[in-house]
Amino acid sequence: MSKISDYIKVGLLALLVTSCSFQNSEDKALYLNSEMAVEERVENLLQQMTLEEKVAQMCQFVGLEHMKQAEKNLSKEDMEKSDAQGFYPDLHSTDVEKMVEQGLIGSFLHVTDVKEANYLQSLAQKSRLKIPLLIGIDAIHGTALVQGATVYPTPIGLASTWDTTLVKKLSVETAKEMRATGAAWTFTPNLDVARDARWGRVGETFGEDPLLVSDMGVAMIEGLQNTDSDAYFNVIACAKHLIAGSESVNGLNGAPTDLSERTIREIYLPPYKAAVDAGVFSLMTAHNELNGVPCHADKWMMTDVMREELGFEGFIVSDWMDIERLATRHFVAEDQTEACYQTIDAGMDMHMHGPEFLQPVIDLVNEGRLTEERIDESVRRLLEAKFRLGLFENPMVDETVTETILFNAEHQATALEAAQKSIVLLKNEDELLPLNISKKLNVFITGPNANNESVLGDWSAQQASDKVSTILDGLHEIGTSCNYDYLDVGHNPRHVTKAHIKQANKRASKADLAIVVVGENSFRWEWDQKTCGENSGRSDIGLAGLQQDLVEAVYYSGTPTIVVLVNGRPLATEWIADNVPVIIEAWEPGSMGGKALAQILFGEVNPSAKLTISIPRSSGHLLSVYNHKPTHYFHKYVTSKSTPLYEFGYGLGYSDFNYQNLQLSKQSIGKKEKLLLKVEVTNIGKYDGDEVVQLYLNDKICSVTRPVKELKAYRRISLKAGETKQVSFEITPDMLVFLDKQLKPTIEEGVFKAMVGGSSRDKDLLSIPFTYVE
Ligand code: BGC
């Protein structure tokens, strides 16, 4: 008997069983009454569900169009290795449609068209209990996988704004664009703390600092979920990936992670605690194993830590096909049934994705290995999500409003502001920037990222060209007095040729100014070609292909040169930093990225972004984090400098800021007290601008080693040229807490140092000591 007929049989059986058990039709329909409390609706519905219908709620499938596309592109073997495309060799898309009608699927992902979302929901409405589908999508920086959506900068750029209000605002907008296209659940924020630039996914993280990752994650969750209301969600956010896949043994996605519990608790866990405290309603486990246990079977992390210790109340979803991989990759389970047992026993609530879950789990319950109560726990959480999203009342989307919401003027303005605040000026020698906007310059521009969609970053579909401002588009729009000589070297960093390089040198020498736009390529639509993004780990974090030669050829033409980097991970560009007068780290600035960059070049916008990840000098300098331990640089490398190329918190503007008069309200702090720290910041340049004022603390002597500094607070302020503002921070005892030798949170009496300034570099910080006395 084929698998599909098994499913259909299961569905018919479900119908028979339940139609006998609930007699009164009014009672049956109670869960459809929106006046009733969510808990009552959940219980009422749960009582009417068969085991099969319950387990079906835990099953997710890829969308029909995605399936059809993947069927064409992939062999069965390729699919087993893929994290981005999926189909079901034994199931036709029409079989999947039937399963929806029978209530045998609870969720979909990768549905990128509102018509398909509505169609699937209409099928679900034909099912016995009319339970709507939960449609999820990777709306990581806008719902960018959808054609026509607003694409905001990727999270590494968003974090570089240090502006949580802005991140919350664009998350509200993302939620609106999602709902307008039928999705109600996004697999974001990515709370992986990123300390290894070889990992391809750094661009979808907020960087290396646990506090900043926490704050950015919370801002996103609040904006997405609408945590201002207890009752309803805009959409559901998903904190991922549990845990520490960003520090796998060799920087490859999904490779094992081996880290001490101290590092897990000090670095990786705080953002999850913050997310749970903010009410995040879903979590996703990670591809990797942690200290010998695959994260999908890690009961300690899913149940003991997340649920019992941190109080997580939402649901946990697996990552893409990772339950299967307990058997096929990690070899901790003999077969899929055992894999399902291990993951559910550990705390899993939903399977991403496909048919290999429903029957094994039903079998496990029938055999008595899993209890139906355990299944009920998961189903309660999943139904609660659907009720709180209002999906029972409004499963369908009004397709006539979709167009008015996607990429509307308001969202474009936010995307532009985010791009302006996310682009980091790393070097500006001889004040080459800002360019005089009214001067007629002959500008030579080249590089693989000069005129392509690399600005969109990973987790984006290829968007229509009128919805993307490339770097060249931006220059044409803003720098209208200039003439541009554009040398097209193709859009792929690996395909720059020697002939391009020769041409570039020649043409650059005739110009007044040269701009070279290099970096990386995260194009999902050219999966095998990309150098960055999901599954694109690199052993060398220099410029790929012949890009370095291209930069050198332009530089040696003698024409003043600007290097713009468009990339999703820090790139080791020491030669460029030593030689080229201007370097801009644009990250992946989104739909409006080119315009924002040009506004910065021509001085319409004063750059204000600061790095949230240190930029290493080479691949050997990984883990050059700012919050390192005191002995980190005790001995130095013998053939190169030991410190990072650019430090965490660093970034230039067109004005300098002077810090003075650092004061504390008292010299010591007690258990229930606060200290007020004040500092004066003056804009000593000629341009109005924003500064990100950063507060770091250091514990001088402690029973365990402590970082040389840890970010504890920050504030983005605007100062007119010549203006001074006093900035104050509260220092509270919880900022002094650390994990003792038994990993218990504690504070020790003694001396601490507060440091305040415009970056984490010692030379940019003023410092003042204080003591903690119980
Ligand atoms: C990624 C997840 C993502 C999922 C669905 C996986 O390969 O690791 O972050 O949410 O695919 O697209």
Spans of all domains in the chain? 407-621, 657-772
Q: Whose CA is nearest to atom 2 of ligand 1?
A: 319
**How far, in Å, is the centroid of ligand 1 from the Cα of 363?**
28
Q: Using the atom order of ligand 1, give the atom closest to the CA of residue 190.
A: 9
Dihedral of alpha carbons 691, 697, 698, 703, sign: negative
To test ligand 1's pocket by mutation, which of 253, 329, 534 has the most ligand atoms within 8 angstroms of CB?
A: 534
User: pTM for the full model?
Assistant: 0.95
**How far, in Å, is the centroid of ligand 1 from the Cα of 659?**
44
Q: Residue 616 in contact with residue 647, Cβ under 8 Å? A: no
Phi-psi region of 52 (alpha: psi -120 to 50; beta: other; left: phi over 0): alpha
pLDDT in tens, 473-532: 999 999 999 999 999 999 999 999 999 999 999 999 999 999 999 999 999 999 989 999
* Short-list 774, 733, 474, 725, CA closest to 595: 474
Tokens of 297: 């079977």
How far is 566 from 589, CA to CA, in rounded Å?
8
SS3 assignment, position 520: coil
Q: Using the atom order of ligand 1, give the atom closest to the CA of residue 287.
A: 8
How far is 472 from 722, CA to CA, in rounded Å?
34
3-state helix, strand, coil in the chain (%, to 5): 35, 20, 45
Q: Using the atom order of ligand 1, give the atom closest to the CA of residue 240.
A: 9
**How far, in Å, is the centroid of ligand 1 from the Cα of 321?**
9
Q: Which helix (H) or strand (E) holds 91?
A: none
257 - beta bridge partners? 290
To test ligand 1's pocket by mutation, which of 320, 323, 351 has the most ligand atoms within 8 angstroms of CB?
A: 320
**How far, in Å, is the centroid of ligand 1 from the Cα of 246?**
14
pLDDT of residue 364: 98
How far is 565 from 563, CA to CA, in rounded Å?
6
Residue 646 DSSP code? B
To test ligand 1's pocket by mutation, which of 61, 79, 108, 187 has the most ligand atoms within 8 angstroms of CB?
A: 187
Class of domain 407-621: alpha beta
Q: Using the atom order of ligand 1, give the atom closest to the CA of residue 110.
A: 12
* Fold of the domain built from segment(s) 657-772: Immunoglobulin-like (2.60.40)
Residue that the structure tokens 């070609």 belong to: 529
Segment 643-663 mean pLDDT: 98
Is residue 192 within 6 Å of ligand 1 at its C-beta?
Answer: no
DSSP of 171-191, one letter per residue?
HHHHHHHHHHTT--EE---B-
Q: Residue 159 in contact with residue 220, Cβ under 8 Å? A: no
682 - beta bridge partners? 658, 724
**How far, in Å, is the centroid of ligand 1 from the Cα of 286?**
9
Is residue 353 within 6 Å of ligand 1 at its C-beta?
Answer: no
Tokens of 126: 């034909």
Q: Whose CA is nearest to atom 8 of ligand 1?
A: 319
pLDDT of residue 231: 67
714 - beta bridge partners? 694
Q: Residue 549 in contact with residue 501, Cβ under 8 Å? A: yes
Q: Which helix (H) or strand (E) holds 426?
A: strand 424-428
pLDDT of residue 17: 44
Q: Residue 426 in contact with residue 651, Cβ under 8 Å? A: yes
CA-to-CA dists, residue 229 to 38, 171, 480, 482, 762, angstroms: 14, 16, 47, 51, 43
**How far, in Å, is the centroid of ligand 1 from the Cα of 319?**
6
In the predicted structure, residue 388 carries a pLDDT above the cut 90 = yes
Rounded to a whole number, what is the distance in angstroms from the first to the last CA of the chain? Answer: 72
Strand order across the 657-664 sheet: 657-664, 675-683, 724-731
Backbone angles phi, psi at 239, to 5 degrees: -80, 130
SS3 assignment, position 678: strand
Q: Residue 579 in contact with residue 622, Cβ under 8 Å? A: no
Backbone angles phi, psi at 50, to 5 degrees: -80, 165
Is residue 199 within 6 Å of ligand 1 at its C-beta?
Answer: no
SS3 assignment, position 86: coil
pLDDT of residue 15: 44
pLDDT of residue 673: 96
SS3 assignment, position 697: strand
Q: Whose CA is nearest to atom 10 of ligand 1?
A: 187
Q: Whose CA is nearest to atom 11 of ligand 1?
A: 320
The mean of the pLDDT values for the chain is 95
How far is 517 from 504, CA to CA, in rounded Å?
12
How far is 531 from 567, CA to CA, in rounded Å?
9
In the predicted structure, residue 229 carries a pLDDT above the cut 70 = no
SS3 assignment, position 12: helix
Query: How many CB atoms neighbour CB 434 within 10 A?
Result: 18
Segment 560-567 mean pLDDT: 98
* Short-list 732, 538, 754, 763, CA closest to 647: 763
pLDDT in tens, 693-745: 999 999 999 999 999 999 999 999 999 999 999 999 999 999 999 999 999 99
Is residue 187 within 6 Å of ligand 1 at its C-beta?
Answer: yes
pLDDT in tens, 660-699: 999 999 999 999 999 999 999 999 999 999 999 999 999 9
In the predicted structure, residue 20 carries a pLDDT above the cut 50 = no
Is residue 83 within 6 Å of ligand 1 at its C-beta?
Answer: yes
Q: Using the atom order of ligand 1, give the atom closest to the CA of residue 136.
A: 5
Is residue 319 within 6 Å of ligand 1 at its C-beta?
Answer: yes
Is residue 97 within 6 Å of ligand 1 at its C-beta?
Answer: no
pLDDT in tens, 179-191: 999 999 999 999 9
Q: Using the atom order of ligand 1, give the atom closest to the CA of residue 241.
A: 9
How far is 61 from 400, CA to CA, in rounded Å?
27
**How far, in Å, is the centroid of ligand 1 from the Cα of 191?**
13
CA-to-CA dists, residue 354 to 86, 109, 122, 531, 730, angstroms: 9, 11, 20, 29, 50
To test ligand 1's pocket by mutation, which of 61, 67, 138 has the most ligand atoms within 8 angstroms of CB?
A: 138
**How far, in Å, is the centroid of ligand 1 from the Cα of 137?**
9
* Short-list 627, 631, 538, 725, CA closest to 212: 627
pLDDT band at 230; cut points 50, 70, 90: low
How far is 561 from 193, CA to CA, in rounded Å?
34
How far is 163 from 155, CA to CA, in rounded Å?
12
In the predicted structure, residue 63 carries a pLDDT above the cut 50 = yes
Is residue 201 within 6 Å of ligand 1 at its C-beta?
Answer: no
pLDDT of residue 5: 43
To test ligand 1's pocket by mutation, which of 319, 329, 458 has the most ligand atoms within 8 angstroms of CB?
A: 319
Range of lowest pLDDT (27-41, 108-122, 284-298): 27-41
Tokens of 109: 């992902």
Is residue 296 within 6 Å of ligand 1 at its C-beta?
Answer: no
Segment 627-648 mean pLDDT: 96
Tally: H helices and E strands in the chain: 25, 26
To test ligand 1's pocket by mutation, which of 83, 242, 253, 522 has the most ligand atoms within 8 angstroms of CB?
A: 83
Residue 433 DSSP code? P
**How far, in Å, is the centroid of ligand 1 from the Cα of 143?**
14
pLDDT of residue 430: 84
Is residue 138 within 6 Å of ligand 1 at its C-beta?
Answer: yes
